[in-house]
Every structure is written in C-alpha cells, then in structure tokens.
Amino acid sequence: MRRTNWFERGFPPITDNGLLPGIIERLEGTPARLAEKVKHFTQDFNPQSADGKWSLKKEIGHLADIESLWFERLQQIIAADQDMKVADLTNRKTHEAPHDSKNFEELIAEFRPLRAKFVAALRALGEEDLEKTSLHPRLKTPMKVIDLAFFVAEHDDHHLAQVSALVMH
C-alpha cells in the first residue's frame, strides 16, 4: 500500500476545537503504541528501510528528537508569535544521533517524558489560547493549537506506519 510522502501532505485548518481532546489522546498514546510494536523484538533487531533512509531505531528516536520543536511551536502559538520556528528539514539531529546503539526501552523512555510535557501543556490551555495562531513556515498557513496538535499526531502516525513497514519485511 502506497503511503503519501510526508512533505506532500496537506493540512487544512480544523475549525472545531472540540476535537482537541481526542487528538490529545492520540498524542498521549504514542509512546505506548511504540512500546507495543517493539515488545517482542530482540535488541539487535533493527531493520533498515528499503530506500536506505532510517533504521527502525532511528524512526523511534526521531520522535524524541523532534519533540522540542513541537513544544516550542506550541509556545509560539500561545504567545501569538507571527511565525513558528523553522524545522531542520534535513533531520540532522536524527541522522547524527546514536539511536542504533540504544535498546528499544531506552528510546521510548527518552520520548515518553518529552511527550508528557507536550500533552500537559496542551491540557493546561485556556479557551482563549485555542484561537491564537502562528504561521507554519513550510506550509505557509496559520495554525491554531488544534492544527499543531493534529499535525504532530499525524507525524507520529506517519512514523508508526514506517515502523510497521520495517517490521513486516
């Protein structure tokens, strides 16, 4: 089954802030879903993608690597900054990180508290914060908190789908 390339995805604005609690549940559950996917693998199991990009452990480690960007962008929306921080689209941090030398539990343990911090920040927001926006630098569209939360949840699922693809081969 073909998967749409991440950079080809579109993210139309979400108008119903009442969908945010469900999105937060997705975000909060990502570490558990990762743990479930890898619980039966030995620590030396680390398949590479067919296109030579990332290994299974780099896919998992990437989620922790990028979490600070999501948190910073959330703070920028709350502050009503005009523009969000630009992401490193080369993912240098992930390419250079020693994820392959770690075990699955370590990788998930690094991700879990970072995600908990993001989820706690989302849950602490007031209604007035939910209407503020900041411009996403690549998409060139203003994003509210719910749009960012959905973007992050979709990013998680994009990498979870890649984890599934790697373990099926």
Contacts (Cβ under 8 Å, ≥6 apart) of 49: 55, 162, 165, 166
* Token output for 155: 């990013």
CA dist 166 and 51 (Å) reads 11
The DSSP H or E segment spanning 23 is: helix 20-38
Q: Is 26 a domain residue?
A: yes
CA dist 39 and 36 (Å) reads 5
Angle between helix 145-168 and 20-38 (nearest 10): 20
The residue segments making up the domain with residue 146 are: 18-43+51-168
Q: Is 2 a domain residue?
A: no
Query: Does residue 169 surpass a pLDDT of 70?
Result: no
The DSSP H or E segment spanning 141 is: strand 141-143
Question: What is the CATH number for 76?
Answer: 1.20.120.450
Q: Is 11 a domain residue?
A: no
CA dist 166 and 75 (Å) reads 34
CA dist 73 and 87 (Å) reads 10
Query: Does residue 50 surpass a pLDDT of 80?
Result: no
Residue 145's beta-bridge partner residues? none
Q: Is 97 a domain residue?
A: yes
Q: Is 5 a domain residue?
A: no
The rounded percent of the chain whose pLDDT value lies above 70 is: 99
Give residue 116's pLDDT. 98
Q: Specify the range with the lowest mean pLDDT, choosing from 14-18, 41-45, 77-81.
A: 41-45
Model confidence pLDDT, tens digit, residues 126-150: 999 999 999 999 999 999 999 999 9
Q: Is 128 a domain residue?
A: yes
Between the CA atoms of 81, 83, 84 and 87, what dihedral angle is there, to the nearest 10 degrees?
A: -160
Q: Specify the range with the lowest mean pLDDT, choosing from 42-51, 115-124, 134-143.
A: 42-51
Q: Specify the range with the lowest mean pLDDT, choosing from 54-63, 116-125, 129-138, 159-168.
A: 159-168
Q: What is the mean pLDDT of the chain?
A: 94
Q: Is 93 a domain residue?
A: yes
Give residue 118's pLDDT. 98
Q: Is 30 a domain residue?
A: yes
Contacts (Cβ under 8 Å, ≥6 apart) of 88: none
Query: For the chain, what is the domain count?
Result: 1
